[in-house]
A and B are shown apart, each in its own frame.
Chain A
Amino acid sequence: MAAPGVSARRDAALIRVLTLAVLVALWEALGQTRLVFGEALPPASAVAAAVAREIASLSFYRHLAVTLGEVAGGFLLGALPGVAFGLAMGARRVLGAAADPYVAALATTPKIVFLPIVMLAVGIGPGSKVALGAISAFFPVAIAAASGMRAIPPVFVRVGRAFNLRGGQMVRMIYLPALALPIVTGLRLGLGVCIVGVLLGELKLASVGLGFLARDYYDQYDFASLYAVVAIVFALASLANGAMSRLARRAEAHR
């Protein structure tokens, strides 16, 4: 007999699959009959076919590569300074107090408002998307690193001093492990908003990238292909989030 936890998980999975099946069937029916939304809701089968077409086409990979590159670049350029700045904010009370209101205000500002400025600064090419992704990633990472730094119990540092740890050992054996979880959590949030920033930028103004591709299909009234791109972006974002979650679980496992 299975343990209660296992059977509950199996039930949840079953419900999830059934829900999806019902929704897809409903979608297919609505799409075929064009009862609601008319042309704007192509049937699921047409979208699936469009996904297959995209995956088989060479130009799709050019768009994919550009978007992945922009996300990776934006994430690196935003998250690394974010970690450094956040740690400094957490370690130095004065800096933290001085920067807190600005960081909090900017963190909640939709980053898309910076797009015109960014485009003026670095042009309308992929650079502007990288910049938007970086600006987006910076804040959640900085905030998580700062609060993680502030949350380190002072007694850990005193234990380190009592055992005569050198500076490098203090970082490696006390600070890094104590900060692993909050930083990974921040990185996960940062990657999410970085993807949002890059795609928003591509939707607004670009000549290449998945956001541009979606926009292009929209302009051509090719809704099945539009939905296909959306589905692919959704799948990729889920994959990225899943990878970050696994990292977070590893950091959290032992607390």
Chain B
Amino acid sequence: MSAPILRVENVAKRFVTATGTVEALAETSIEVREGEFVAVIGPSGCGKSTLFNIIGGLDSADGGRVLVEGKPIAGSHRDIGMVFQEESTFPWRTVVENVAFPLEVAGMGRRAREEKAMRFVRLVGLDGFERRYPAELSGGMRQRTALARTLCAEPRILLMDEPFAALDEQTRMLLGEKLIEICQALKQTTLLITHNLSEAVQLSDRVLVMSFRPGRIKRTVAIDLPRPRTSDVIASERFASYLGTIWEDLKAEAAKGLAALETARRAPAGR
């Protein structure tokens, strides 16, 4: 098997706040091979976004390192393309101008970049909407615009933090299907961070289950479902059995997460 294109080695992160120290990540290690689709799943607050920010170079780790093709990286790296959980399309740019953003940053001329951006607009199925502004689109279309913008920079690794979290279940299923299609077409290496079980299983070759605070990879589940995949896969028995297997591990962590949330809620009442 080929050497991993992305390696996260023993990454650790603490946040020191007024109320104390939060150990967000401890000794987290991940390997992603070229062309692979890997999902990291964990309950809210387990350190997923922290991991996302460290891999993407927007935050620094307190220990460990991130390597692309065996070379340690610092700061944002052009081989890693990030898609954010929040609404991140620029409201003052049309769809195609949003998608062409990284090309404009790189200094490409207007004609060339619009032509190239249109390829990615079509890829995410937004042709016909390229002259619209984000405010005129649905949440799912805006998130596809953000995805196309990131893909347009042709990163070797696509890194996403709960990109569909703000969307409704059905839109998410269809978008998941679209994402599988895109990643297969581009042979895109992808690391998807999510808290959604069926999304993780539907899309991935491997699912990594994260533990709750400190976050680390607790278990790896290889998803041996046929490709090319569609959303129909959720009807299969094996899909259900994967959900069951992962939930066994996730359940305890989710419970810890919920307990932590409830403790935090209770604290102010005691003042």
Residues on A lying within 8 angstroms of B by beta carbon are 153, 155-156, 158-159, 161-165, 169, 173-174, 177-178, 180, 254-255
Contacts and interface: CB of A to CB of B under 8 A. Distances in A.
Determine chain B's interface SS by DSSP, over half rule.
loop
Given A162-B58, A164-B76, A153 B104 contact: no
Interface in B82-141: 82, 84, 86-88, 90-94, 101-102, 104-105, 133, 135
Q: Is the interface of A mostly helix, strand, loop or mixed?
A: helix
B82 A254 contact: no
B90 A177 contact: yes
B56 interface: yes
Contacts of A164: 76, 78, 105
A161 B94 CA distance: 21
Contact of B92 (A153, A162, A165, A178): A178
A177 to B, nearest CB: 4
Contacts of B38: none
Contacts of B78: 164
Nearest to A165: B105
Contact of A162 (B56, B93, B104, B133): B56
26 contacts: A153-B87, A153-B88, A155-B87, A155-B88, A156-B88, A158-B58, A158-B84, A158-B88, A159-B84, A161-B58, A161-B76, A162-B56, A162-B57, A162-B76, A162-B82, A163-B102, A163-B153, A164-B105, A173-B101, A173-B104, A173-B105, A177-B90, A177-B92, A178-B92, A254-B133, A255-B135
B79 to A, nearest CB: 11
Nearest to B159: A162
Nearest to B84: A155
Contacts of A165: 105
Contacts of B104: 173
A164 B75 CA distance: 9
B44 to A, nearest CB: 18
